Amino acid sequence: MANAWRRSRGVTLLSALSVVGMLGVSASVLKPRATVPDLPLAVANNAVAHITSGRGRGLYSFMGIDSTRTWRGITRRAFYLAAGGSSWNELPPVPGRHGRLAALAFAVKGRIYLFGGYTVDSAGAEVSTPDVNIWEPGTQRWLRGTDIPVPVDDAVGGVWNDSLIYLVSGWHNTDNVADVQIYDPSSDRWIAATAFPGIPVFGATGSIAGNTIILIDGTRRNTQAPRYSITSQSWTGEIDPRQPDRIVWREAPVHPGPPRYRGAAYFCGSQVIFAGGTDNPYNYNGIGYDGRPSAPMNEVVAFDVNARLWLNRPSAPERTMDHRGLVVYDGALHVVGGMRADQRVSASVTQVAQCLGAR
C-alpha cells in the first residue's frame, strides 16, 4: 500500500482580542463585503462548491430541496455564479432520474466532483446513492466517476492537498458507517482509509485544513427511543502525507456552544470555520425526529488545527441550518440557500465569516 501513495481532552478558548490578532477581523461586528445575488430557486440541503481561479471561477449549487419541503421538491437543478457576476446561470441538471439530498461537492484542479446523497420516493423510502458526478466547466458537460464503494449521504468531506477527496462517516441506507473513503480524481479510483473511531453519525460538520480533518457532532441511530439523537463529539484526524490513507485520529477539545446538526464548514488558512446548524436533528422537512420544529442557530466558531484551539467568531447575521458546506466568495465565507427560522427555505447567499487571503 505504501508504494501506491508515493507521489488531554479539555476546553481552550481564545479571547475576542486574540481572534482579531489571528484573523484580522472585528470580534464584535461581521463587516459585510460584496452582496452576492440570490439563487434563482430557494433551496436547502444543496451541495455547494467554489472554484477560485481559471475557467469556471465562481460559486456552484447542486440539487437539494425546494420550499415545498416534500419529496416532490427534491431537485436535480444546478446553478453557477461567475465571480463578479450579477446573477446565477442554470447549468444542465445533475444526471440521474431523481434529485438528491445530503450530497457533497468539491473542486479539484478546475473540476467539480459531486458525491452521493440520497433519494426519496413517494412512500418516503430513502436510498443512499453511489453516484460520482463530475462537472467540467471547460466543456460544459457532466462526466461520470467510479461509484462510491460504500454509498453514503450526510457525510463529512474535504479536499487534501488539492489532490484527494475524503468522505468521513455518514449514513448508508440503514445505519451510520465509520468508513473513511478516499477518492483520487487523477486516477478515478477509491482507497479505504483508517476508519473513524468516534460515534458514526450523519449530519456531522467538518472539513480539512492542511493535513488535518476536523469533525464535530452529528446524529446517531439508537436501538431504542428516541430513534435518532444528536451527539456531542469533536475529533481530528492527521493525514500522513507519505501515505494519505493512514490517519491518526484523536479527540479534540470540546467546541463552544451546543452540538450541531447539518451546519456548514470550510477552512480558512489553518482554521476551519463552523457556522449555522441546529441542536435538534430532523428529516428533510425541517421537523425534528422528536416532532418539534428545529430551530437554526447563528453561532460561528473556528478551530485552529495547528494550535488545537477553539475560537469564538462574530455571529452570523441570520440563523440558518440545512447546509452541506461553506463557499468562498470575495474573500469571505458564505452559506448558499438553506433553511432559516420557521423552516423557511431560502435563496439567499449570506456571509458568515471573513477570511483573509481567501479568493
Q: Which residues contact 258 (CB under 8 A, 6 or more apart)?
A: 279, 297, 299
Helix (H) / strand (E) containing 133: strand 132-136
Start-end of H helices in the chain: 16-23
CA distance 119 to 97: 10
Torsion angle, CA of 295/317/67/267, rounded to 10 degrees?
A: -90
pLDDT at 54: 87
CB atoms within 10 A of CB 143: 14
Task: Report the chain's C-alpha Rg in angstroms.
Answer: 19
At residue 73, the 3 state secondary structure works out as helix
pTM of the model: 0.90
CA distance 300 to 150: 32
Residue 47's nearest CA partner among 94, 104, 93, 89 is: 104
pLDDT at 193: 98
pLDDT at 95: 98
pLDDT in tens, the chain (359 residues): 333 443 322 333 333 333 333 443 333 445 555 689 999 999 999 999 999 888 899 999 999 999 999 999 999 999 999 999 999 999 999 999 999 999 999 999 999 999 999 999 999 999 999 999 999 999 999 999 999 999 999 999 999 999 999 999 999 999 999 999 999 999 999 999 999 999 999 999 999 999 999 999 999 999 888 899 999 999 999 999 999 999 999 999 999 999 999 999 999 999 999 999 999 999 999 999 999 999 999 999 999 999 999 999 999 999 999 999 999 998 899 999 999 999 999 999 999 999 865 44
- In sign, the C-alpha dihedral spanning 241, 244, 250, 254 is positive
Cis peptide before 258 (omega within 30 of 0): no
Give the full edge-to-edge strand order of the sheet including 164-168.
Answer: 156-160, 164-168, 180-184, 189-193
pLDDT at 225: 84
Q: Which residues contact 84 (CB under 8 A, 6 or more apart)?
A: none
